[in-house]
Amino acid sequence: MTRLGGGRSWADGPMRRSSMSRGGAPIGRFILLAIVAIAVVLIAIVGYSAVFGGGESCNETYCESSSGIPIPAGFASFSEVYERNLSADPLPEGFDLQITIPLTAATGDNRNLSFYGYDATTGLWQPLASAVLDETGTQATGLFADPPRYLAVLRRLNEGGHVVAYLEPGATLHPRAVAHVTIVHTFDFTPLADGTLAGELSTPPATEAAHYPVLSASAELPDTVPNLAAILATGAERSNHVRQILQHVAAVRIAGIDIAYLELRADQRTSFTLFVAELADGLHAEGKTLTLTLPAPVKAPDGIDEGAYDWASLGRAADVLKIAPVRDQGTYRLEMPDVLEHLVSLVEPSKLVLTVTPYASEKSADGLRRLSLTEAMTIASKLAIRSESVVAGGEIEIVGINIDREEGLSGLRWRPETATVAFTYKLNGGRTVWIENVFSVGFKLEFVSDFGLGGFAVEDASENIFLGDIWGAIEPFVETGQPVLLQPNPGDLLPRWAATGGSLQGGDGGLVTWQTPDEPGTYTVTLSLSEGVYRFENEVTLALQPPAAVEDETAPRVP
């Protein structure tokens, strides 16, 4: 039995432009467009006539607010706070509203910049739409299914840049992530062969983060790889897929979407690049965001191999590019600097996001596989008995068979070359397990600051207690932009043994000798292991027999 201990050790239509005024003086341009949800046909909104409080007149759908609503801590305001003019003619139902407002400070950096709406009932600002900047960086545009009463453009002030959280449908966001995430991706959609989308939109967690669901295809998702091959085979099928995505995005009323097509062939490179460019144009025309999740390029003898992904072209089209997790930690720290040096030469660094993970990984002759922390530590703490008799007043050897250094295994130890806690064990030719936790992730976040990347993503940001604890590294990085580079105490990685009777000798190398108690009965020997943060236990329970009973059974019988 393995237990997890509690201790601690990613327009074509007409458009109305109106001068907004406060006290009779023009203060900027406020542009509104109504967009049919599915067909994306634009129409004008007419009829603005209202008086806005305090003796100051405003005849627009939104006016500067005099409510004095404070901007939340950890945010910077990039616009005035605007309030819906309730005296204006009501907006037509069934339309999305496109709003363009002037910024109080020009910017060319759209990181963590979004439209937020204030909910007077809860007292919270909630993200509603991406803030798409114009060419001058003086105006931002967003698209709204249900325009709020109070509206403003805010920037999340994370020193670490984007904090992207991936979540499986129905998963709960980790409590320590709620205050920090800027983008939430839920794995909701997959492509069908006819270009349409399968799946249902998840309800996003209650955070101030933007929600962009993922449209994904990989070998782990049945039929998605051949479906995608059919879609990318011709220009007509590719364009049809773009139309289907745009229609679906409009139908479910989301502010953007993430494309995670991870296992493309090299001969699909051009088609995928054209697909992304066409999709980006369509989404941006509607004030929506496109992000991509892409496999990391591979370091080859003759340079960096991008495979099916033209990072330079994709970086020009999409808003954010996330580098998917790299499982092989044996080469990660050797090769990732060269890979990132290549990428920042092609893509604006502020668009690049490095993904970290709370999952362990295992490498064997069969390839690489992902493990939860609990799965990895269950392997490490596996026990066996190395004694023929189990008697009171005797001696029994108990071994952690996957950490036994007498068998040439490494045991749990910190590996500086990989900056992870790792162990090796024997199964079908031998395997290596690398564990991700607060220590290893700190060293990965170092790359984000060293290369000036736009932030980082967390592969699984759920509150799954069986995953590694990485938030102790994430939180200080978000607050300061500087990684915390720590190693576990070597003594914390040594096995610890306990028995409910008798005495124990040795054990640091993975094998312990148990001097059994003199009294027969049932006893338990426990192995406790830590990867530096949590402590795991595995135990074996033995029924000790009286020595005489064993001798009687083995003595020769006299007829």
202 and 143 within one domain: no
Confidence tier at 286 by pLDDT (50, 70, 90): confident
Please say if the pLDDT value at position 267 is more than 80: yes
pLDDT confidence of residue 59: 75
Say how many domains are in the chain.
2
167 and 213 within one domain: yes
Q: What is the mean pLDDT of residues 94-105?
A: 82
Q: What is the mean pLDDT of the chain?
A: 85
Question: Judging by beta carbons within 10 Å of its beta carbon (0-12, 13-18, 19+), is residue 50 exposed, middle or buried?
Answer: middle
According to DSSP, residue 391 is labeled B
Domain holding 464, by residue range, is 162-360+435-480
Question: Judging by beta carbons within 10 Å of its beta carbon (0-12, 13-18, 19+), is residue 154 exposed, middle or buried?
Answer: buried
**Domain membership flag for residue 559:** no
148 and 222 within one domain: no
79 and 58 within one domain: yes
Report helix, strand and coil shares of the chain as percent, to nearest 5: 20, 35, 45
Q: What is the mean pLDDT of residues 389-407?
A: 94
253 and 150 within one domain: no
Confidence tier at 108 by pLDDT (50, 70, 90): confident
Please say if the pLDDT value at position 271 is more than 60: yes
166 and 148 within one domain: no
Mind listing the pLDDT tens digit for each residue in 24-36?
333 333 434 333 3
Please say if the pLDDT value at position 557 is more than 60: no
Evaluate if pTM is beyond 0.85.
no
Q: 224-231 vs 235-252: helix axis angle to the nearest 10? A: 120
Task: Determine contact, residues 152/140, Cβ cutoff 8 Å.
Answer: no
319 and 209 within one domain: yes
Residue 13 or residue 478, greater confidence: 478
**Beta strand pairing status for 383-385 and 496-499?**
unpaired
**Domain membership flag for residue 329:** yes
Please say if the pLDDT value at position 318 is more than 60: yes
Q: Which of 40-44, 358-362, 384-388 has the lowest mean pLDDT?
A: 40-44
E strands, 269-388, in order? 289-294, 298-300, 303-305, 320-323, 352-356, 360-364, 367-371, 383-385
Rg (CA), the chain: 30
* Residue 83 CA to its chain's centroid (Å): 34
End position of a domain, from candidates 134, 154, 174: 154
Q: Which of 44-53, 81-90, 367-376, 514-523 has the lowest mean pLDDT?
A: 44-53
SS (H, E, C) 122-170: CCEEEEEEECEECCCCCEEEEEECCCCCEEEEEEECCCCCEEEEEECCC
Confidence tier at 53 by pLDDT (50, 70, 90): very low
Please say if the pLDDT value at position 475 is more than 80: yes
pLDDT confidence of residue 548: 72
**Domain membership flag for residue 503:** no
End position of a domain, from candidates 130, 154, 178: 154
pLDDT confidence of residue 29: 36
Mind listing the pLDDT tens digit for each residue in 59-74?
778 888 888 898 876 6
pLDDT confidence of residue 129: 80
Task: Determine contact, residues 87/58, Cβ cutoff 8 Å.
Answer: no
Please say if the pLDDT value at position 240 is more than 90: yes
**Domain membership flag for residue 557:** no
Please say if the pLDDT value at position 100 is more than 90: no
The amino acid sitting at 54 is G
Please say if the pLDDT value at position 541 is more than 50: yes
Please say if the pLDDT value at position 378 is more than 90: yes
Torsion of CA 315, 320, 326, 330, to 10 degrees: 70
Residue 461 or residue 558, greater confidence: 461
pLDDT confidence of residue 16: 27
Mind listing the pLDDT tens digit for each residue in 188-209?
999 999 999 999 999 999 887 8
**Domain membership flag for residue 279:** yes
**Beta strand pairing status for 162-167 and 455-458?**
parallel
251 and 103 within one domain: no
Q: Which of 49-63, 340-354, 525-539 has the lowest mean pLDDT?
A: 49-63
The DSSP H or E segment spanning 235 is helix 235-252
β-bridge mates for residue 399, sequence order: 384, 511
pLDDT confidence of residue 49: 25
Confidence tier at 15 by pLDDT (50, 70, 90): very low
The SS3 of residue 436 is coil
**Domain membership flag for residue 334:** yes
Confidence tier at 428 by pLDDT (50, 70, 90): confident
Looking at the chain, the whole-number percentage of residues with pLDDT higher than 70 is: 86
pLDDT confidence of residue 63: 86
Residue 527 or residue 96, greater confidence: 527
Please say if the pLDDT value at position 323 is more than 80: yes
CATH number for the domain that contains residue 291: 3.20.20.80
Distances in Å between the alpha carbon of 501 and those of 269, 325, 508, 522, 523?
65, 46, 19, 9, 7
**Domain membership flag for residue 67:** yes
SS (H, E, C) 14-68: CCEEEEEEECCEEEEEEEEEEEECCCCCEECCCCCCCEECCCEECCCCEEECCCC
Task: Determine contact, residues 533/8, Cβ cutoff 8 Å.
Answer: yes
**Domain membership flag for residue 383:** no
**Greatest Cα-to-Cα distance within the chain, rounded to the nearest angstrom:** 120
Mind listing the pLDDT tens digit for each residue in 486-523?
999 999 999 999 999 999 999 999 999 999 999 999 99
**C-alpha to C-alpha distance for 132 and 363, rounded to whole angstroms:** 43
Confidence tier at 128 by pLDDT (50, 70, 90): confident
Looking at the chain, the whole-number percentage of residues with pLDDT higher than 90 is: 66
pLDDT confidence of residue 36: 35
**C-alpha to C-alpha distance for 315 and 323, rounded to whole angstroms:** 12
218 and 131 within one domain: no
pLDDT confidence of residue 91: 67
Confidence tier at 480 by pLDDT (50, 70, 90): confident
125 and 43 within one domain: yes
**C-alpha to C-alpha distance for 63 and 221, rounded to whole angstroms:** 48
CATH number for the domain that contains residue 47: 2.60.220
337 and 208 within one domain: yes
168 and 287 within one domain: yes
Mind listing the pLDDT tens digit for each residue in 156-184?
776 778 999 999 999 999 999 998 899 99
Distances in Å between the alpha carbon of 482 and those of 343, 448, 449, 478, 511?
21, 9, 7, 8, 41
Sign of CA dihedral 4, 184, 213, 233: negative
Neighbours of 173 (CB within 10 A): 19
